[in-house]
Amino acid sequence: LELLPFCSCAAMSRPVLAMRRSCCRLAGACSQRASSRFFAAESAQLRRKAAPQAAAPRYLQGFKQDEGRKFWHLRRDEAVAAAGGARPLVATSYLTQEETSRGESRAVKKFSFFESYQDYHSYIQFCIASGEVQGIDEMLLEDQERVLYFDLDCKTDVVSLKAISQQIVEVLSCYVQWFFLLDKRPFPVVLWSEQAEKFSVHVLFPEIQFPNHAGQMVYLPTLVQGMRLIEGKFSFLRALVDPFPYNKCQFFRGPYAAKLRPTGYDASTALVPRSLLRGDPLTAFIGYCNPDYKVGLPTLSEIVSQRASLRRQTTMERYCAGTTDDMVLWGDEFVKDSEADLLDLRNMHEVDQFAELLPHLNPLRASHYWSWFRVAGVAARLIKMYPALEQDVWQAFETWSQNFPRYCFFENRSMIEKAAERPNLPTVKLVEQLASFDNPLLEIRLGTPDDARMKGEPTPVELQQYLWERGWSAEMPSGQVLLAGGGPQQRQIIGVARARRTQEHFAA
């Protein structure tokens, strides 16, 4: 532990851009790696002893209802109820005494609202005039209208990207025009950050408006994934687009908003508008939808009918659920050259289904943070549901996760333990969708004993009776795998039944 503060612990990178890099070398002569998160609390204490953090301004510490000439609510639902309708909702961060794994004060959000976007803009102008740095985020709920927006950021080649930033925005505008079949190029509203260590730009298109989050997510997955079609000098555009700021409840930094650091607001991170549609300052807000600016949009089917190159991107539609998964999990880089085959997992225990499906995922997913994160959630759910089978779940997950070149036992164990604390964990169905997407020619049948009974196929009990009547005396425990077919009259076994615990095969 004494060595940890002096180790080089790489940060987690974005799932689309790079692989997980969260393991660190304990010493030069030691080849084993340990997870920085696994020792987070201990290493944070050592770092604080070596170099204490500077204290943040007092007005940023702790929750205060009256701050910055506004009344703030501790809970989001309180602010929503107080706003009572179409008023713009906002949030800002304050520091608590709770510490992060880095030994820094944890930032927590509090919530408020403005009477209108004009009132919101006037507040920002007052802050600028008084020399005050603010960090107010827009808060969009699921049913609120919004414009098309992108968050472009990158931590490498920052100087080069800033030099061609105007060209990047122009290429993005041309692509949006091409995608939505527009007659003229939509006007981009650009908000620029001056921070030296990161390329960070927000691009809004106020003329392209969506009625709510569901309407936005009809287009966004295909729109973002379609950027892979861009070739040549700007083929990296897809990698710049952050796929995460499209949640059902979305926080998005507003104009001139800065990020909160342990020592206060960092003015260099403030997003300064560089261009405005028709000089209207309200077009710098993603929730401001002026009907005078709105252009008509074709349906996704109409777009695909005229843009044949996008048809491959729309094959992911059956997997999309209006969440972050839509933007991250269904990339062409995961599609494998597979042969037509059938994987019948009906009547199989959930743990067995999980173990059977994982080998069919593209090995690249083990190095893709969001895929790894979501599959770990499935494993955590299975462990919570079937504690007696924890070792089986862990063995299946560990075998798959070892496809990551820098696999670390402690990192994976820590991830599953943390995932178990989250509500609404994903089911095995998500792994089945990943396997289906990665193997377009693979037909996967996933069901329950009740599904098989409705289709007239043998249940495990009927299979055991079938074998017993024919002199097959082998005992078959519950939870076996059954690959079977035939109608209720035929009862003809055409597959293989596998005992789950002993991995023993029986053929009939």
Name, of 36-45, 175-184, 335-344, 454-463, the range with top average pLDDT.
Answer: 175-184
What is the predicted pLDDT for the residue at 89? Answer: 96
User: Left if phi > 0, otherwise alpha if psi is -120 to 50, otherwise beta: which for 400?
Assistant: alpha
What is the predicted pLDDT for the residue at 76? Answer: 93
- In whole angstroms, give the CA distance from residue 109 to residue 124: 19
What is the predicted pLDDT for the residue at 329? Answer: 82
Q: What are φ and ψ of residue 209, in 5° steps?
A: -120, 145
31 — pLDDT class (breaks 50, 70, 90): very low
> Which carries the bigger pLDDT value, residue 500 or residue 378?
378
- In whole angstroms, give the CA distance from residue 299 to residue 82: 36
- In whole angstroms, give the CA distance from residue 501 to residue 475: 12
> Which carries the bigger pLDDT value, residue 480 or residue 208?
208
Question: Are the beta carbons of 220 and 246 closer than 8 angstroms?
Answer: yes
- pLDDT, tens digit, for every residue of 90-116? 999 998 887 766 677 788 999 999 999
- Helices and strands per DSSP (H, E), number in the chain: 16, 19
Of 381, 368, 379, 380, the closest CA to residue 330 belongs to 368
What is the predicted pLDDT for the residue at 228? Answer: 83
C-alpha distance from residue 478 to each of 301, 314, 383, 495, 498 (Å): 47, 40, 18, 18, 11
What is the predicted pLDDT for the residue at 345? Answer: 87
Average pLDDT over residues 396-408: 92
**Strand duo 481-482 + 442-445: pairing:** unpaired
Name, of 118-132, 330-344, 444-458, the range with top average pLDDT.
Answer: 118-132
> Which carries the bigger pLDDT value, residue 485 or residue 425?
425
Residue 462 has pLDDT above 90, yes or no: no
- In whole angstroms, give the CA distance from residue 145 to residue 86: 10
> Which carries the bigger pLDDT value, residue 501 or residue 207?
207
Average pLDDT over residues 179-185: 95
Take residue 387 and report the two structure tokens written for it: 């504690």
What is the predicted pLDDT for the residue at 458? Answer: 54
What is the predicted pLDDT for the residue at 353? Answer: 92
Residue 127 has pLDDT above 70, yes or no: yes
CA distance from start to end of the chain: 57
- In whole angstroms, give the CA distance from residue 101 to residue 42: 9
* 46-50, 80-84, 324-328, 364-368: segment of lowest average pLDDT: 46-50
> Which carries the bigger pLDDT value, residue 260 or residue 19?
260
What is the predicted pLDDT for the residue at 52? Answer: 41
Average pLDDT over residues 309-313: 69
- Amino acid 315 reads T
> Which carries the bigger pLDDT value, residue 151 or residue 474?
151
Helix (H) or strand (E) holding 167: helix 165-179
Crossing angle of helices 350-357 and 390-401, in 10° steps, is 10
- In whole angstroms, give the CA distance from residue 466 to residue 344: 20
Take residue 145 and report the two structure tokens written for it: 């209208």
**Strand duo 505-507 + 496-498: pairing:** antiparallel
